[in-house]
Each structure stands twice: as C-alpha cells, then as structure tokens.
Amino acid sequence: MTEMTETTELYQLTLTEAAAKLQSREISAQELTAACLDRLESTEPALQACLTVLADQALEDAALLDRAGPDPDQLLWGLPLTFKDIYCTKGVRTSAASRMLRRYIPSYDAEVVTRIKKAGAVVLAKTNLDEFAMGSTTEFSAFGPTRNPWNPAKVPGGSSGGAAASIAACQSPGALGTDTGGSIRQPAALCGCVGLKPTYGRVSRYGLIAYASSLDQPGPLARRVIDCARLLQVMAGPDDRDNTVSTRPVDDYLSARPAPLRGLRLGLPRELWESRLDEETSAILKAALKTLEEAGVELKTLSLPHLPHSVAAYYILATAEASTNLARYDGVRYGHRADDPQSLRDLYVASRSEALGPEVRRRILLGTFALSSGYYDAYFKKAAKVRRLIRDDFFRALEECDFLCSPVSPLTAWDFGKFTDDPLTAYQMDLMTLPVNLAGLPGLSLPAGLAPGGLPVGWQLIGRPFGERDLLGAGLALEEAFPPLT
C-alpha cells in the first residue's frame, strides 16, 4: 500500500486506506462520500461511467452512519461504492444498460448488495455496462459508451467498463462488477486497476440480471489487491436463494500475505502467450516475466490443448443461455412494451426490436439457433463436452504449478468502433479470459505496466477452485514487484 502524503485528496484514498481513516475518525463518512461525489461530478461528463448517481441518498446514508459511529465489525463502514447496473437495487432503477429495462425499479436488493450494505457501505452510483453485460467495450450500452480515463478516445473494456473507469478515475474506492467471459478482468486491465473473478459458486447470483447463468459471477474491482480481498470477504458465502452457491466455508481473505516470489511456480499456457499479442503488450509482459524470473519465480511453459476451441464453445454455450434467460422480455410480463400491437406475435417482435440493441439481438439469435431442433446435438451438446475438456486441461496444469499466468488482452485499449463491424474478431479478443469462466476458476487481473503510448497493460493469475486466499497472496506479491498505476 502506498504511503499517504499531505497533498492526497480524500477521493484518492484506496479502499483500505479510507477504511482505516474512517474507523479512527480521522475522516467522516460524509466527508469521504462528498469528496467522491465531487470527483464524480468533475470527471463524469467526459467518462460517462455512471448511469444513476445517488447523491442525496448517499449523503443521507453517510450522515446516519456518522451519527451511529464507526463499527469495527463492519468491514466496509462508511465506504462509498459503485455497483454495475446489473445488480438489482431496491427502489433504484436497474436497467442493465438496456432500453428494455429503462423504467425497471426492483422491489428488492441483490444478495451481494444486501451484504455490502450490512457491512456499512454507502451506495454511491450504478455504473454503465454493455447491454445485458454482452460485450467487451461498453460501446453497446443503450445510454452511450463509457470512455477510458487514460485516454477518452479509447474504450475502457467491458462489460464492466463503467466500474473499471470509475475506479481508475478515483470516483470511488471500490466497485462491484460481474464476469461472464472476462467482464471484470479485461476492463480492469485496460483501465489499469485490479479485478477479481471469484470461483463460480463462491458468490451469490441472486438478484443479478442474468446473461449466462452457468458463467456469470459477481466480483470486485479496486485500485489494490487487498481492497479486492476486503470486498470479497463481504460478498462471499452460501445463500439459500441461489442453489449454485457453494456451502464451503469462506476463507479469511484479509489475512492473505504476499507470497514469496522465490520458488513460486507459474505456468505459462503456450496457447495464450503465443497468440497474437500487439508489440507494446508483448514487450511489457515479457519484461515483467523477466523481472519475475530474476526474483526467483519458476516459469514453466505448458499446454492447454483444448484452449483453441474455447471461443467457439463459449459463444455457443453463453448465447444459448442468453436466449433462454432473455426470453422473459416479451412485452407481456415486464420490460418495454410496444404500442398498439396488432397481434401477440407483433407484440413480441415489436417490443424486442424496439428495446434490444444489435449485439444482444445477435447473441439471442445465435443461441436460439444452437438450441433449435436438429442443431442441439451438433452445437450445444458438443460445446458442453469441450467445456469439460478445457476444465480438465486447467486442472492438470494446476497440478504442475502454483498458478497459471497469462495476458488479459492481446492489445491495449483500442479506438471506439474498431471492431463493431467485425464481431468475429471481437469475440476472438476474449481468448485470454473466457476459458477461466468455462472452467469455473478464480482469476485475478492486475497491472503489469504502462505501454509506451501511455495505456495500461494487464496480466492475470489463475488459481485453483476456491483458492482465492492463495491467489490474493500471489497478487500481493506481484503488486509489490510491479507498483500500482493509480
């Protein structure tokens, strides 16, 4: 953790630094919340990271906390946080960045939101995303794109691009995103912050607007690894309302300490490191690996032979689940309803055509085709088998090393519109991250350095199932070797 200076602004405090100052009453919850709101107001016109800002409610909640006083048992007491606008929030619009839900106000909180609130946090804002979390750039939001704080002409990544941009711009010290195929780790890498995708089943999905139910996983973003540990400590654990959540006890993530680099065994999947990386990204990551090797890390190149099939398998499985999950948005039960339909079919077609964006429609059509009569065995069933083979590849590799290490993105943040007319190339860009979701493993994205053009380069550590504590320890060690960018 970086040392504080006399000139540090409140909004620049990391989550852990802010938590310590709040508990010691050096600062108040109202002061910190007001500072973050001021920062948000000054940066938001350029970034568009947030869809809904709860300024009055946040200040009111912070005042209530101050009147009660700090509670050492509440790990997030007084900390203003943002939530990706795919978490249901009671009484606050939850749009999933879609016109379909632009007027949807939930009557309940997602389980993660409930836990974060009980831990004393202040809900500051709901952040932007690709519509229904389907995208890797946050260009596909129905309410306009989010811009990268390092260069507003570049994308922030996605689908949790609003959350990552908000963290990088110091609008808040912590954010909650979701990761279906890299949607936490990739924007964290492109925006120069830390993002953690937990093991599938470590965190409840109750109250999360679903994209692909067997792949979606809530997780934290922050500016430091220890900050993600604090957020995960609150988020993780069983939930009776989500039968995919593990009943396995939650580890003490805050007790994680930097792992010794000497003797640490890192596996380098050949299929990821030998893929097409741009020159800047490749140079930064190779230099980082050399630094690790000089520090005594054992680097072992290994193979995950079925990884080349992961993009195809993912985009069959994920879109099939999306087709099923989004079938409920039909203009009858809830969501956007077209005016003056002439028939039930006309109601369905008009409501969905008016309210769903092009990328969501594309993925629904792909998934519906994969599930259709005569194609289920040819596509969906085969993809499910490939998924198991990819999982087995990861498990075998993790028997040979402590963690796997790979790039997060094959290039630094790119210009808006670069891949919008080339979806197949855009999907291939997810090769580094989506296999981790197929295998259900935890992944931690953190900065490796700045490219000569001034844009962040990230890499990821991949751990064993429910090995988040060890993964965080390795992340802390890398963070010491490669100082944070923000």
What positions carry a catalytic annotation?
Answer: 84, 159, 183
429 close to 410: Cβ distance less than 8 angstroms:
yes
Looking at residue 357, the DSSP 8-state letter turns out to be -
Q: Strands 298-302, 265-269: parallel, antiparallel or unpaired by DSSP?
A: parallel
For 56, residues 6+ apart whose C-beta sits below 8 A from its C-beta are none
Question: How many Å separate Cα 401 from the centre of its chain?
Answer: 26
Query: Counting Cβ atoms within 10 Å, is residue 257 exposed (0-12), middle (13-18) or buried (19+)?
Result: exposed
Looking at residue 148, the DSSP 8-state letter turns out to be B
Of 211, 181, 247, the closest CA to residue 434 belongs to 181
- 3-class secondary structure, 390: helix
Instruction: Kindly report the backbone phi and psi dihedral angles of residue 288, in degrees, each rounded to the nearest multiple of 5, phi listed first.
Output: -65, -40
Looking at residue 250, the DSSP 8-state letter turns out to be P
Token digits of residue 163: 């959350």
Token digits of residue 102: 């632009």
Q: What own/partner pairs with CB < 8 Å and gap ≥ 24 does 150-154 have? A: 150/191, 150/192, 150/413, 150/454, 150/455, 150/456, 151/413, 151/454, 151/455, 152/46, 152/47, 153/415, 153/416, 154/190, 154/412, 154/413, 154/414, 154/415, 154/416, 154/455
425 close to 431: Cβ distance less than 8 angstroms:
no
Q: Strands 122-127, 194-197: parallel, antiparallel or unpaired by DSSP?
A: unpaired
- 3-class secondary structure, 219: strand
| Dist CA 222 CA 50 (whole Å) | 16
